[in-house]
Structure 1
């Protein structure tokens, strides 16, 4: 009987499912389709590779052939899916080939949001969303000193820290009033900003980038506040958008991500989704820990042991070595308030509900030492 499981995507989510499934079932046929080279690497390491002494080549842990041998699966690199026909249980590739599946796992990831920038240099703006992007970024960076980063969120701040520590002049532009505005309360954002400024990061906050023009060998950014910045390289890091197009075109319900239940199943039988492309009970969580929990649960389900995903408290480590930070963002649907304690060595911000229960935290500097004890007091993200 035909029982092939097809995984579309070779990132942490796709490989996580394949690896966990192999622990449970050594025989079931698994085919992985990868839009790129299909090698395995740690995507989170891209944003601090420079200061860690890593190159694009050394970041790659194993190529597709090595991963296929290790996991005893078939991997097809540079293989793009154009359409999905769930009635025929069939994938149509861009070259017209048809691939049948018994069960399908969508681990499609997310795309970097691209701003609609104007100017003769707008096409030079880079994003880093995978190893190939990072390879291009490093090539463009070679011999350059001035880098502008659009976006002061998690990825923008991590890259800013990495670049500043390796001798680059870094300008960061953001429409918010502080770095990491979606993760940190105001006082913590100010603390992070000062620490990054101490290593040479320049913030341009409460403004946006209107245009980018090529001026000889350089790029000139014109900001909404009237200021301008001259730069050699411009990196955009303004957020991610789940890849939902394939599912939506096939009639599978999508919202911010591909809508799945606690078993990570879409509203179409035998089609599952996880990782950056999936929305589980209204939550899209593009972080390592939820992806790992989802991969284990889905592997068990695919192996014949239906298992709903459970998300415990999952703090996020911000890789800004100049200002170590661990954040467990509160569910802001819960009424509460931040309580902040700060000294010159760190800042502890606790979000407590009206009954005094700990709902979230932001720990910076020396306060990160309290991560384990505080995490034990947090509620689960999904019971």
Structure 2
């Protein structure tokens, strides 16, 4: 087999991988593509995982297209429940353990790492630390849904985006919810304090209890329940504990292949890594110091990489891309200022909502946070923001 006949290999089957395939097939319908994934290969919306409990949706109901249908629709060779053990850049090969335990080597013309990210786990003392749940994919969600049967009270570790979305969803689903976070407010990396307090109040009205400014010390079995001990001396009884402490890009496979990594897998504006013919996108990729695990950046990167893989000139640009936080108790849309920005927030109450604008020291708008009815201003304000990554 000549190099030109070797397939494009994509590792991963999340939104990044399938969006890339969809965009590439618009440009080239025939070139062979092989997709290797540890999951089932089924297509589903990952953002739905933190909003599906109140609607009593099963894992199966979240699948919009099976792996087999995706393979047929996009003309793919699909290896599911398979693990990539090694990347050999010199010979442009990957070593894969298939679902039946067989080991094979597959050559590639171009390799794409769409590995995703893992939920951050921190060491926690106690004889029940292994009982902490996390939901990072469809399989995790199925387990969590099963664990919820007959339970009443859930403690969530982390008051970030995923933690707040789960808190809202679980409370709407009739569960008692308590949230623990070391920060003194919810969504500390995204919201100014007054809007965070408004969110906390709205979720409190659904029964959510907050333990802010403290962290978990240990988790232990207490009969049929779990006892969560905090560093401030408080303790909480729970039926389940859900960890939502944020995401860590999966970089180990790339590191072992000699690919440059930082927080994520380092790529240039063509999404190419430090090794020729190996690319990366999605939650695992880092572009000019930016790791953006959100839908819109993934879409932008997928369109750019599809063109690159098809032999066209393309360079990644990130316009301003506000993030919608799925907390129906208080709808939120945020475009946070760049980390380390100097400036200040101005907060304005409006009928049915709140508007937060962040101006830098030159009085330029570089971020916003909109709550409730103020979310209607999204399009107008987004036009005023500078791009996250402008044209190079």
TM-score by length of 2: 0.96
1:233 aligns with 2:240: yes
1:112-127 alignment, distance < 5 Å = 112-127=119-134
1:217 aligns with 2:224: yes
After TM superposition, give the deviation of residue 74 of structure 1 in Å: 1.1
Name the counterpart of 2:202.
Answer: 195
Task: Give 1:84's match in structure 2, choosing from 84, 87, 102.
Answer: 87
Which is further off, 19-28 or 339-348?
339-348
Task: Give 1:152's match in structure 2, choosing from 127, 146, 159.
Answer: 159
Contact in 1 for aligned 2:12/2:113 (Cα 8 Å): yes
CA distance in 2, matches of 1:13, 1:234: 29
CA distance in 2, matches of 1:5, 1:143: 46
Name the counterpart of 2:173.
Answer: 166
* Number of matched pairs: 383
Name the counterpart of 2:375.
Answer: 368
Name the counterpart of 2:21.
Answer: 18
1:4 aligns with 2:7: yes
DSSP 3-state at the match of 1:196: helix
CA distance in 1, matches of 2:106, 2:23: 23
Which is further off, 165-174 or 91-100?
91-100
After TM superposition, give the deviation of residue 379 of structure 1 in Å: 0.8
After TM superposition, give the deviation of residue 53 of structure 1 in Å: 4.0
1:339-358: CA deviations, max 9, x gaps? 11125722110001222221
Contact in 2 for aligned 1:56/1:135 (Cα 8 Å): yes
1:287 aligns with 2:294: yes
CA distance in 1, matches of 2:11, 2:37: 6
Structure 1 stretches of 4+ moved >4 Å: none
CA distance in 1, matches of 2:120, 2:340: 26
After TM superposition, give the deviation of residue 183 of structure 1 in Å: 0.4
Contact in 2 for aligned 1:3/1:28 (Cα 8 Å): no
After TM superposition, give the deviation of residue 256 of structure 1 in Å: 0.2
Q: What 5-or-longer segments of structure 1 have no aligned partner?
A: none
Which is further off, 220-229 or 86-95?
86-95
